[in-house]
Structure 1
Amino acid sequence: MEHIALYRAWRPQSFKDMVGQRHIIQTLQNAIREQRVSHAYLFSGPRGTGKTSAAKVLAKAVNCERQQGSEPCNECPSCLRITAGNVMDVQEIDAASNRGVEEIRDLRDKVKYAPTEVRRKVYIIDEVHMLTTEAFNALLKTLEEPPPHVMFILATTEPHKLPATIISRCQRFDFRRVSLEEQTGLLSEICEKEGIEADPDALQYIARLSDGGMRDALSILDQISSFTDGHVTYQQVLGMTGGIPAEQFARLASAILEGNMGLLLELVEQLMHEGKSADKCLENLLHYFRDLLMIKMVPGADQLTDRVLNPAEFKDMAAAFSRERLFEIVDTLNRYLGEMKYATHPQTLFEVALMKLCSMRQGDRPVTMDSSASVAVTAGLPAVDQGELVILKRQIAALEKKLEQAMQSGSISGGGREAGASSSRSGAAQSLAPRISAPGKMPPHMDLFIASKDSPDFAAVYKQWSFVLQAVKEEKVTVHAWFVDGEPVSVIEDAVLVAFKNTIHRDTTEKPVNRQVIEGVLAARLGKPYRLVTIMLRDWNEAALKSVSQASKEELRLENEHEVAGGTSEPWIDEAIQLFGEDLVIIKE
């Protein structure tokens, strides 16, 4: 006789056969008993929890010829034919394969015809979230007001992908994962009726692996029972599913606790020789430490653990770790598990993650304790860090002293970089143009810059500025991107004052590497070395306006600072001259 898979042979044929969904079954039974069945239902939940099975049972219940109460009889011709899938009026549609608008339009056209074999047409649309937007729109009106002889049952694992207009037209039932006790009880009953001998801990582990899906649990049981010739043990389940025994978890945790990297790598190599995958090992280890954390923090955490079959046996291991250490281990493993998806060599990454856990000590992270205990715990690495900090401070002080001596001797120009650091350094730098001016502060010698803003030297520099910008761009485009925000406003001796509109552009331009590029271009294009001095444009305008007010009390006349350079009163014309050069710009009235 042909073998039928367990999950098919034991598919629920009535509401009483379903496990773990009592809140849904009772509601549907009451609706059938009181003849208050809705025209549209939405069944959502994880895979293998009974959504499609409940839909078929409901289709049989509303069409049963010998219905008594709220259960289908499963003996009348209608029930038998619906179970076998031979009734044209009860259709199960796979939305993943029929997701287009044409298929839904065809369904909408057939809905209006009365059923020919049973009392009520039932359309079960599985994986309904796969329908396209156009298909949902085509279904919308029919779903809201179908003929009285039609019922829609939509099933999906991802209800958040459904339009709100579809969800609002259905009665929604959320299927939940089947509990561990319910799964274990059903597996025991099936093993008894199928003649399969299975150890209780093996069935419990199968139920944990299924993650609340009854279909997954039956598939695993079917596979293992074929391999073991009718007798299922815990070790056989581990071998078939690639799981790791709890004892190996305990050895890994002990090696991490003791910091024994040699033993840890030997255990990893043993797992790899047994055919275990590195990503599954890391995932299972993460679950194990999560369970240890639950056991340590939550009294009676038997129902909260995923991989520990007997939590009482692992209380000693949980007590050996501090809560802070367990939190850190779980966080580290979770981070490496995310990186392992893209790793070329997962085993290497697994070993690195375990060695990182080994290198952690219980006292690496400070915990709440008295001061003497805190000093004793943190006397290792933090003390070394403090010593390095002292050495770095001494080196910085020595460098500052050497820089001050060099500036006082005149061998280094640019004392403005250290302006305000000490009185001696600021006095030595008075005769030199500043190299960096802090944002929001005026550079020294502003009176000289203001007096020279209309000088012939500035006019010559301004005329060449577009070529300067182009040369900076050719030299280094990233420097040009910041420097282009500035414009020259004055020149004194060997210093060019550039005004910036944006503070970040000014700060980036003043970095030593960028300044070196700009000053090299200035020397090459202008024929003599120039130092770069910067100011904010708003500060320059205020200073220039104040100077004009003081110079002439009778007449206050605001002029464009570029007028001498051939500029005009129109800012966009000045901008064009600056970008393209005076020779290429023609002004027409």
Structure 2
Amino acid sequence: MAHLALYRAWRPQTFQDMVGQQHIVQTLQNAIRENRLSHAYLFSGPRGTGKTTAAKVLAKAVNCERGPSQEPCNECPSCVRITAGTVMDVVEIDAASNRGVEEIRDIRDKVKYAPTEVRRKVYIIDEVHMLTTEAFNALLKTLEEPPAHVMFILATTESHKLPATIISRCQRFEFRRVPLEEQTARLREIAEQEGMNAEDPALAYIARLSDGGMRDAVSLLDQIASFAGGNVTLEQAIDATGGLPSEQFARLATAVRDGDVSAVLQEIDDMMKAGKSADKCLEQLMHYFRDMLLAQLAPDASSSSGRVADPSDLRQLAAGFPREKLFGIIDTLNRYQTEMKYAAHPQTMFEIALIKLCTASGETPSVQEGSAAGASAGGAQAGVSSGEVSKLQARLADMERKLEAALKGGGVAGGSTSGASASGGGRSSGVSQAPSKAPRVRVKLDPFVAAHDSPQSKELTAKWPQVLQRVKEERVTVHAWLVDGEPAAYADGTVLVAFRNTIHRETTERPANKAMIEGVLTSVLGKPAEMVTTMQKDWQEALASGAGASREEAAAGEELRLVPEDGTEPAREPIIEEALRLFGEELVVIKDD
């Protein structure tokens, strides 16, 4: 955080001052009273929960001139000097910047010497998980059998990165996130002592924003007090931290519920004009819907369950959302938040995520309205089961909606004429065939063999690194699959990619992944491009044998088609036959999903 002055002034100096860690405080105090101190402790837990502070208080308690006592007096020379950091026998090491084996060997060489200023040598190693493997090995023997006058206290936020041999030689204490009520009470006490006029909603907002870290909460209070001139209100706290008021989230949630895309885009535009970050806005919106879900499922839960807004303010809005709808919204926002990390334009991803939510909320009535037409169409198909009729109703209703939108726009919904010509009409939006029922197909390699050495194929090979980079920027997971393939040839607007691994090929061929790759190919090559795939061994065999076709035939424009391996035409499903009967072959196109 930017402001730490107030935290330094209010940093706990005794065990009693620590907030939210009573279980650890009691254990350490009992160990001091009964003289059962360990030679090594491991303090782990989230940032800002008091790990390093507890280590320093423990160092003072065991070295206090009036002790060892359960609480340091903070008045004797030893306590005062340990607090100031001027005692040579109490050493605090930052493992993030002193992580090598040489630093640990230096400690190992010095622990044998008795302390010169206090009763016990104490080594506090902060962020210990940053040590190298060699450094851990050097520390291992010292931790196992240290001299009686030495105590090690290791602090870390990522205990899972420590070797098991290190953990097994320490007494481990897990620091917890500080409860919201305790944080708020502590912030109120600090504000009163500092003469600040702080509203309770503002203090609760600061506590929620700190995510259980007392250090972050006090630092935020200092920052907001500086911004507000000592008068801390909720509005000023939101402005100072770059947050969004709950009213704006409520307007967004209402627009999503009503399927109002215009209102959603206007709210997003207002956020961006105010200098907000798209990824932070999406994250806070996801927490807002999470709070709505909790307000619906657990209306009597304490206010500590809230993060962006208090649950009591959300119950009326939450009543307008079905429970399944809230689960779906949170899941969608979470997926888009993950993809936003790799997006070149986060604001666009934010807009698409909310537009998708609006569209999803508006599709249910359309299906209901079209159920009657779907039922009559399904009944016309002889021998179709009730389950198939239900699927037919839903699919036909969706087709009617898309067809209506396409006719208003002057074209086939989701269609691609270039895709139809290049692959025999097999890649445009329309009726989707189930993959399990589709016949196994292969690509005719003759035209690609003929175009193997063409200028277009050489251009494709030269620009392939650029294609891979663009795919990586769009979606890094797809890039991980696509790198297994190599560009084989470019013919008649279609790119052939040869794969070494079947799994990589099949994953790349998934409709969403394939559509994204084809978009990148079109952008990089500067002309429409579709993608088909094959295995490298099949491609090498085709090159070696010439694929049984002459270059003249390929140059004459032989159509690139996906055909079944037995040479027969694929059998059509009943639902496809019914769609063709209802709409005609001109308007229905089929894609392999």
* 271 and 381 in structure 1: CA distance in 2 versus 1, 3 angstrom threshold: farther
CA contact (8 A) 1:472 1:521 kept: no
The answer for the alignment partner of 2:547 in structure 1 is 518
CA contact (8 A) 1:252 1:264 kept: yes
The answer for the alignment partner of 1:345 in structure 2 is 345
CA contact (8 A) 2:49 2:214 kept: yes
The answer for the alignment partner of 2:226 in structure 1 is 226
Q: What are the residue-to-residue correspondences of 1:111-510 with 2, within 5 Å?
A: 111-303=111-303, 305-361=305-361, 364=364, 382-385=395-398
| Residue 79 of structure 2 is aligned to residue 79 of structure 1 | yes
Q: For each residue in 1:327-376, what CA deviation from the matched residue of structure 2 results, as whole angstroms up to 9, or x when unmatched?
A: 111111111111211222222221121111111126639999xx99x989
Matched position secondary structure for 2:361: coil
Matched position secondary structure for 2:302: helix
Q: Residues of 2 paired with 1:472 and 1:220: CA distance? A: 64
Residue 509 of structure 1, CA deviation = 6.3
Residue 186 of structure 1, CA deviation = 0.3
Matched position secondary structure for 1:13: coil
CA RMSD after TM alignment: 3.9
CA contact (8 A) 2:246 2:308 kept: yes
Q: What are the residue-to-residue correspondences of 1:6-17 with 2, within 5 Å?
A: 6-17=6-17
* 514 and 190 in structure 1: CA distance in 2 versus 1, 3 angstrom threshold: same
Q: Bigger CA drift: 22-31 or 344-353?
A: 344-353
Matched position secondary structure for 1:320: coil
Q: Residues of 2 paired with 1:375 and 1:333: CA distance? A: 34
CA contact (8 A) 2:179 2:212 kept: yes
Residue 172 of structure 1, CA deviation = 0.4
Q: Residues of 2 paired with 1:262 and 1:294: CA distance? A: 28
Q: For each residue in 1:80-111, what CA deviation from the matched residue of structure 2 results, as whole angstroms up to 9, or x when unmatched?
A: 11111110000001111111111111110000
Aligned letter for 1:270?
D
Residue 218 of structure 1, CA deviation = 0.8
Residue 312 of structure 1, CA deviation = 2.2
* 362 and 521 in structure 1: CA distance in 2 versus 1, 3 angstrom threshold: closer
* 480 and 29 in structure 1: CA distance in 2 versus 1, 3 angstrom threshold: closer
Q: Bigger CA drift: 332-341 or 207-216?
A: 332-341
Aligned letter for 2:320?
A
Q: For each residue in 1:482-512, what CA deviation from the matched residue of structure 2 results, as whole angstroms up to 9, or x when unmatched?
A: 9xxxxxxxxxxxxxxxxxxxxxx99x969xx
Residue 41 of structure 1, CA deviation = 0.2
The answer for the alignment partner of 1:569 in structure 2 is none
Q: Residues of 1 paired with 2:152 and 2:499: CA distance? A: 62
CA contact (8 A) 1:6 1:219 kept: yes
* 304 and 320 in structure 1: CA distance in 2 versus 1, 3 angstrom threshold: farther
CA contact (8 A) 1:238 1:245 kept: yes
Aligned letter for 2:272?
M
* 379 and 197 in structure 1: CA distance in 2 versus 1, 3 angstrom threshold: farther
Aligned letter for 1:337?
Q
Q: Residues of 1 paired with 2:174 and 2:291: CA distance? A: 27
CA contact (8 A) 1:64 1:72 kept: yes
Residue 319 of structure 1, CA deviation = 1.1
Q: Residues of 2 paired with 1:227 and 1:523: CA distance? A: 77
Q: Residues of 1 paired with 2:498 and 2:44: CA distance? A: 58
Which runs of 5 or more residues in structure 1 are unaligned?
390-435, 439-469, 483-504, 525-533, 536-589
Matched position secondary structure for 1:321: coil
Matched position secondary structure for 1:182: helix
CA contact (8 A) 1:366 1:378 kept: no
Matched position secondary structure for 2:275: coil
Residue 69 of structure 1, CA deviation = 4.4
Q: Residues of 2 paired with 1:362 and 1:277: CA distance? A: 28
Q: For each residue in 1:421-448, what CA deviation from the matched residue of structure 2 results, as whole angstroms up to 9, or x when unmatched?
A: xxxxxxxxxxxxxxx999xxxxxxxxxx
CA contact (8 A) 1:294 1:304 kept: no
Aligned letter for 1:313?
D
CA contact (8 A) 1:78 1:118 kept: yes
* 474 and 279 in structure 1: CA distance in 2 versus 1, 3 angstrom threshold: closer
Aligned letter for 1:384?
A
Aligned letter for 2:26?
Q
Q: Residues of 1 paired with 2:401 and 2:363: CA distance? A: 20
* 195 and 517 in structure 1: CA distance in 2 versus 1, 3 angstrom threshold: same
Q: Residues of 1 paired with 2:125 and 2:497: CA distance? A: 61
Q: For each residue in 1:181-214, what CA deviation from the matched residue of structure 2 results, as whole angstroms up to 9, or x when unmatched?
A: 0100000000011111100000000000000011
Q: For each residue in 1:511-563, what CA deviation from the matched residue of structure 2 results, as whole angstroms up to 9, or x when unmatched?
A: xx999962216999xxxxxxxxx99xxxxxxxxxxxxxxxxxxxxxxxxxxxx
Larger RCO, structures 1/2 (Cα 8 Å, 6+ apart): 2
Aligned letter for 2:49?
T
The answer for the alignment partner of 1:50 in structure 2 is 50
Which runs of 5 or more residues in structure 2 are unaligned?
377-389, 403-438, 442-448, 455-487, 490-495, 501-533, 554-564, 567-593
Q: For each residue in 1:472-491, what CA deviation from the matched residue of structure 2 results, as whole angstroms up to 9, or x when unmatched?
A: 99897989999xxxxxxxxx
Aligned letter for 2:268?
V
CA contact (8 A) 2:178 2:212 kept: yes
The answer for the alignment partner of 1:421 in structure 2 is none
Aligned letter for 1:15?
F
* 367 and 178 in structure 1: CA distance in 2 versus 1, 3 angstrom threshold: farther
The answer for the alignment partner of 1:29 in structure 2 is 29
CA contact (8 A) 2:282 2:350 kept: yes
| Residue 62 of structure 2 is aligned to residue 62 of structure 1 | yes
Q: Residues of 1 paired with 2:440 and 2:150: CA distance? A: 80
Matched position secondary structure for 1:92: strand
Aligned letter for 1:221?
L
Matched position secondary structure for 1:41: strand
CA contact (8 A) 2:293 2:323 kept: yes
Residue 305 of structure 1, CA deviation = 3.3
* 344 and 473 in structure 1: CA distance in 2 versus 1, 3 angstrom threshold: closer
CA contact (8 A) 1:363 1:378 kept: no
Matched position secondary structure for 1:360: helix
The answer for the alignment partner of 1:100 in structure 2 is 100
Q: Residues of 1 paired with 2:498 and 2:278: CA distance? A: 49
Q: Bigger CA drift: 295-304 or 258-267?
A: 295-304
Q: Residues of 2 paired with 1:90 and 1:262: CA distance? A: 62
TM-score (norm 1): 0.65
* 343 and 471 in structure 1: CA distance in 2 versus 1, 3 angstrom threshold: closer
Q: Residues of 1 paired with 2:270 and 2:227: CA distance? A: 24
CA contact (8 A) 2:299 2:311 kept: no
Q: Residues of 1 paired with 2:18 and 2:221: CA distance? A: 18
Aligned letter for 1:324?
E
Q: For each residue in 1:449-480, what CA deviation from the matched residue of structure 2 results, as whole angstroms up to 9, or x when unmatched?
A: xxxxxxxxxxxxxxxxxxxxx99998979899
* 287 and 378 in structure 1: CA distance in 2 versus 1, 3 angstrom threshold: farther
Matched position secondary structure for 2:93: strand
Q: Residues of 2 paired with 1:84 and 1:521: CA distance? A: 87
Q: For each residue in 1:32-77, what CA deviation from the matched residue of structure 2 results, as whole angstroms up to 9, or x when unmatched?
A: 0000000000000111000000000000111111127411111111
Q: Residues of 2 paired with 1:81 and 1:294: CA distance? A: 49
Q: Residues of 1 paired with 2:296 and 2:49: CA distance? A: 32
Residue 301 of structure 1, CA deviation = 3.0
Residue 260 of structure 1, CA deviation = 1.2
The answer for the alignment partner of 2:579 in structure 1 is none
Q: Residues of 1 paired with 2:323 and 2:391: CA distance? A: 18
Residue 298 of structure 1, CA deviation = 2.7
